[in-house]
């Protein structure tokens, strides 16, 4: 975590701790239970604002004795605010969380209530993919949250409009990608677009996949078991491949200055032939029901292919046809809500509703959840736009699912990887130096356990 980020969190913590909100001065109205909700909202995504407003309004209508106080944030501001709430001892009642990685501190400190009893009581497991109901998939080791789905964090979008304009076909190998760079550049196009300003993007959406291709599908297990190190030649080679992508011009160095929210617009405007993001990003291109407009019209979406990165045909690669997959995000309840209280009952009802059939159906139809955890959805009724159909078939484009780095390692370990990937792009660190920094961080983490 950068110094700027740490200072920002400390300031937020102080503000929260000193507020009437945190001090308990704000009292619930008699007969009304207030639920504080921290909601992850990409306001630029089609339908996101209207859908969220509808869902929370519907819940309040179904439960007249509840009042939702919802705070909407996105990307790093969301994570910074949640960490600040945690530091101030003032977590929201219901919050949007990750099964590990970005929410590891909540899991490690058991700050989230175990939902297993509620799930069993309401017989909910039958409606979900078994993996999403497996407590071992969550860092807490219990059902701290209900996931909305399963996430492929690496998706490789191909724009056939751009390739056709210069007489190219989709690259099947890395060597073919490199050969396309001068052709695309001469016509004013970038090769691969990736909005890498937010440090997590390169790690989650690209390097997690790359690391497994160089180190094997079980590479993380061997490190955790003490059988391998981050400084081993194969991990250094994986890091060096990221450096090489910049050196070869496959990714322009300007990518590290592109805000995460700007990536879809650049791809929709045909600024590059390929685009790397997570599977969830397909929803950014679809039609907004309130305006009837789409970043990429359904007709143009037929020119977009979605799969995984081409085969890396370089020495040292041990795996191809792979992508990084993890349990998806979802909703959790703070652990210290009194057992048996009306607040606990309503918080659970909200979590159940937000991961229920109605919301899941809509989120899947609009691209918010490409691979939903619910098994009782009516897919024919969704009339999915072409890009969402393509994402739904992504599982057929690769043979091996591998881990996401921030899903299997603690933040003390994956944050130096995030930072190191930016340093490689800027040329301020070598792959060997980044690997040593990560190993040092891992060793320090082991000593602190």
- For 297-363, the DSSP string reads -HHHHTTEEEE-PPB--STT----SEEEEEE--EEEEBTTSPTT-HHHHHHHHHHHHHTSHHHHHHH
Domain match, 200 and 277 both:
yes
Q: Which residues contact 21 (CB under 8 A, 6 or more apart)?
A: 90
Q: Are 392 and 365 in contact (CB under 8 A)?
A: no
Q: Tell me how far apart the alpha carbons of residues 336 and 355 are, in angstroms, rounded to a whole number.
A: 22
Structure confidence at residue 30 as a pLDDT band (50, 70, 90):
low
Residue 218 confidence (pLDDT) above 90: yes
Question: Cα–Cα distance between 212 and 319 in angstroms, integer?
Answer: 7
The four Cα atoms 335, 337, 339, 343 give a dihedral, to 10 degrees, of -140
CA-CA distances (angstroms) from residue 253 to 78, 192, 408? 27, 11, 28
Length of the chain (residues): 449
Across the range 169-185, mean pLDDT stands at 98
Residues in Cβ contact with 417 at an 8 Å cutoff, skipping those fewer than 6 apart = 203, 207, 405, 409, 434, 438
Compute the distance between CA of residue 282 and CA of residue 366 in angstroms, rounded to an integer.
9
Same domain, 127 and 184: no
Q: Examine the pLDDT at 27 and tell me if it is beyond 50.
A: no
State yes or no: pLDDT of 22 exceeds 70. no
**Which residues make Cβ contacts (< 8 Å) with residue 19, sequence separation at least 6?**
none
> In terms of DSSP bridges, do strands 150-152 and 322-327 run parallel, antiparallel, or are they unpaired?
antiparallel
- Contact 9/83 with Cβ under 8 angstroms? yes
Q: What are phi and psi of 379, to 5 degrees?
A: -65, -40
Q: What is the pLDDT of residue 136?
A: 87
- Does residue 106 lie within any of the structural domains? yes
Distance CA 182, CA 168 (A): 12
Average pLDDT value for residue range 280-284: 93
Q: How many CB atoms lie within 10 A of CB 389?
A: 15
**Residue 237 in domain:** yes
* Cα–Cα distances in angstroms (integers) from residue 177 to residues 158, 180, 236, 250, in the given order: 12, 5, 22, 7
**Domain assignment of residue 337, yes or no:** yes
The verdict on 47 and 120 lying in the same domain is: yes
Least confident window among 10-24, 137-151, 209-223: 10-24
Lowest mean pLDDT among 44-48, 207-211, 216-220, 355-359: 44-48
186 lies in the same domain as 256: yes
Residue 424 pLDDT > 50:
yes
Q: Residue 123: its pLDDT value, please?
A: 97
Q: Verify that 440 and 338 share a domain, yes or no.
A: no
141 and 274 within one domain: no
Q: What's the confidence (pLDDT) of residue 378?
A: 93
Structure-block tokens of residue 307: 């799969």
- The predicted model scores a pTM of 0.84
Question: Is 49's pLDDT higher than 80?
Answer: yes
CA angle 24, 78, 20 (to 5 degrees): 15
Q: 14 and 73 in one domain?
A: yes
pLDDT, tens only, 60-114 = 999 999 999 999 999 999 999 999 999 999 999 999 999 988 899 999 999 999 9
Asked if residue 351 and residue 284 are part of one domain, the reply reads no
Q: Tell me, what's the pLDDT at 213?
A: 98
CATH number, domain with residue 269: 3.40.190.10
Within-domain flag for 274: yes
Domain-terminating residue out of 372, 387, 407 = 372
Q: Same domain for 304 and 368?
A: no
Is 377 part of a structural domain of the chain?
A: no
**Statement to judge: residues 364 and 221 lie in one domain:** no
Evaluate whether residue 297 is within a structural domain.
Answer: yes
8 pLDDT more than 80: no
Q: What is the pLDDT of residue 366?
A: 86
Does 204 reside within a domain? yes
Q: If you average pLDDT over residues 257-270, what whole number do you get?
A: 97
Residue 157: beta bridge partners? 275, 306
Residue with tokens 């920002």: 8
* Whole-number Å distance between alpha carbons of 135 and 114: 10
> What is the number of domains present in the chain?
2
Segment 299-319 shows an average pLDDT of: 97
Domain assignment of residue 159, given as a range: 152-325+399-448
Q: Report if residue 385 sits inside a domain.
A: no
Q: For 322, left (φ over 0), alpha (ψ -120 to 50), or beta?
A: beta
3-class SS at 32?
Answer: coil
289 lies in the same domain as 434: yes
3-state class of 120 per DSSP?
helix
- Please tell me whether residues 138 and 210 are part of one structural domain: no
Which of residues 337, 372, 407 is at a domain's end? 372
- Overall average pLDDT of the 221-248 stretch: 97
Q: What is the mean pLDDT of the chain?
A: 92
Q: Which residues contact 300 (CB under 8 A, 6 or more apart)?
A: 161
């Amino acid at each position: 975590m950068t110094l700027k980020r740490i200072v920002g969190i400390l300031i937020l913590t102080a503000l929260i701790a000193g507020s009437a909100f945190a001090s308990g001065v704000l009292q619930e109205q008699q007969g009304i239970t207030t639920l504080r909700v921290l909601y992850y909202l990409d306001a630029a995504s089609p339908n996101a604002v209207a859908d969220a407003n509808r869902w929370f309004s519907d819940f309040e209508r179904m439960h007249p004795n509840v009042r939702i106080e919802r705070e909407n944030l996105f990307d790093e501001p969301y994570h910074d605010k949640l960490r600040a709430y945690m530091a101030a001892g003032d977590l929201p009642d219901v919050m949007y969380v990750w099964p590990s990685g970005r929410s590891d501190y909540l899991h490690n400190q058991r700050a989230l209530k175990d939902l297993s009893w509620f799930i069993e009581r309401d017989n909910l497991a039958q409606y979900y993919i078994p993996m999403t109901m497996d407590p071992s998939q969550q860092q807490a080791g219990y059902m701290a949250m209900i996931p909305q789905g399963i996430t492929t964090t690496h998706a490789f979008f191909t724009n056939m409009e751009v390739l056709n304009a210069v007489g190219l076909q989709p690259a099947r190998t890395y060597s073919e990608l490199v050969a396309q760079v001068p052709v695309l550049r001469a016509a004013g196009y970038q090769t691969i677009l990736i909005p890498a300003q937010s440090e997590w993007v390169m790690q989650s959406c690209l390097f997690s996949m790359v690391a497994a291709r160089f180190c094997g599908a079980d590479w993380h297990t061997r490190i955790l078991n003490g059988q391998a190190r981050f400084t081993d030649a194969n991990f250094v080679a994986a890091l060096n491949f990221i450096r090489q992508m910049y050196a070869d011009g496959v990714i322009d160095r300007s990518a590290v200055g592109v805000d995460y929210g700007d990536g879809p617009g650049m791809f929709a405007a045909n600024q590059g032939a390929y685009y790397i993001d997570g599977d969830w990003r397909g929803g950014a291109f679809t039609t907004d029901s309130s305006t009837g407009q789409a970043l990429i019209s359904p007709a143009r979406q037929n020119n977009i292919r979605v799969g995984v990165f081409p085969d890396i045909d370089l020495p040292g690669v041990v795996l191809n046809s792979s992508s990084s997959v993890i349990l998806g995000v979802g909703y959790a309840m703070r652990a210290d809500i009194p057992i048996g209280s009306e607040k606990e009952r309503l918080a659970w009802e909200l979590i159940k509703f937000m991961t229920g059939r109605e919301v899941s159906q809509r989120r899947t139809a609009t691209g918010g959840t490409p691979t939903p955890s619910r098994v009782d959805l009516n897919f024919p009724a969704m009339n999915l736009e072409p890009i969402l159909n393509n994402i739904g078939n992504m599982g057929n484009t690769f043979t091996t699912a591998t881990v996401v780095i921030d899903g299997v390692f603690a933040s003390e370990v994956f944050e130096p990887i995030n930072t190191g990937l930016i340093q490689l792009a800027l040329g301020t660190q070598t792959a060997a130096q980044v690997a040593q920094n990560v190993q040092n961080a891992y060793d320090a983490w082991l000593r602190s356990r």
